[in-house]
Amino acid sequence: MIYELRDSMRILPLAEAPQLALVMSSIGEGNTPNRIWVDDPDTPKSAFVWDTTHCLYFLGNPGEPFREELEKKLASEIIPAAARKKIYVFKIHFTPHWEKNLPGIFASFEKRKRQLYAYIAPSVEVKSPPRGFTIQKINKEFLESPLKNKLDLVEEIESCWKSVADFLDNGWGFCITHEERIVCRCTAEYVSQGACGIGIETGEEYKRMGCATAAASALVDCCLSRGITPHWDSWEDNIPSIRTAQKVGFVKMSDFSVYFGNLNLVE
């Protein structure tokens, strides 16, 4: 059988890997959008989580009945819902028992490696942005200012949070601006008691200028002031991202893999 679960705290024991625990804790505390299906609503041994956008999470040890019911649920409900949002490719996270089942669910996918970092020092050196650039905290006034590419930031926030208002109440972030344009953004994505995942992006023409380091160090400082350990994850081959994390002071915690899979469910 398969059951949709409302009490997301029940699946936390299934998220043993640190990168999964980071996200599931944020879901459990109500900060990350989600839909969850489990094999048992009281004591789940297997769970499937959709963040309602691009990420799927396969947790626990699936039995054959749950896997078969989940395939039907994907085909009848999840895939159509994602397609209505124009989402056609997923990032697939999984626990070891699930990995061998993925080829039977998705028609094609690619495995890629990522790295997880954490900031464990008690303080951080906050870097200044380049001359002529400004660092600003993301708040209501900032989002109401006449920035040329503000919509990109709003879309990023809405992809990780239930709403912009929820982010303003429970999240935080910083942007580097230049000539009324956001050139780098760094936001809290997965927030729970004691932990936070970081999302960061820099415009291509503004890379290697110190913008990312300035924005990330400001966000780390904000996390530490709240008693929260910030985390950073990156593709293994994204050397600029890894170098920025290390320059700020993040320490590598673990390696893990994810799949990219399309929506062509095997019939």
Per residue in 182-219, pLDDT (tens digit) is 999 999 999 999 999 999 999 999 999 999 999 999 99
Q: Is the pLDDT of residue 264 over 60?
A: no
Same fold, 3-114 and 120-249: yes
* Separation of alpha carbons 56 and 95, rounded Å: 12
User: Please, what sign has the CA dihedral across residues 206, 238, 168, 157?
Assistant: positive
Chain length of the chain: 267
Q: Provide DSSP, 69-103.
A: HHHHHIIIIIHHHHHHTT--EEEEEE-HHHHTTGG
This prediction has a pTM of 0.93
For 129-181, write each residue's pLDDT tens digit.
999 999 999 999 999 999 989 999 999 999 999 999 999 999 999 999 999 99
Report domain extents, the chain.
3-114, 120-249
User: Please, what sign has the CA dihedral across residues 162, 167, 171, 177?
Assistant: positive
200, 186 contact by CB (below 8 A): yes
What are the backbone angles phi and psi of residue 99, rounded to the nearest 5°? -55, -40
Tell me how many degrees the CA angle 216-218-224 measures, rounded to the nearest 5.
100
Q: Given its phi and psi angles, is residue 208 left (phi above 0), alpha (psi -120 to 50 degrees) or beta? A: left
Sheet containing strand 89-94, edge to edge, reads 3-5, 35-38, 46-50, 55-60, 89-94, 251-262, 109-118, 229-235, 195-202, 182-192, 173-177, 134-137
For 18-31, write each residue's pLDDT tens digit.
999 999 999 999 99
pLDDT band at 266 (very low <50, low <70, confident <90, very high): very low
- Which option is the CATH number for 120-249: 3.40.630.30, 3.30.1370.60, 3.30.565.10, 3.40.50.300? 3.40.630.30
> What are the Cα distances from residue 71, in Å, to 7, 56, 91, 224, 235?
22, 13, 17, 42, 28
Cross-strand pairs, 129: none
**Nearest residue to 119 (alpha-carbon basis) of 233, 237, 207:** 233
What class is the 3-114 domain?
alpha beta
Q: Provide DSSP, 110-129.
A: EEEEEEEEE--SS---PPPP
215, 200 contact by CB (below 8 A): yes
pLDDT of residue 162: 95
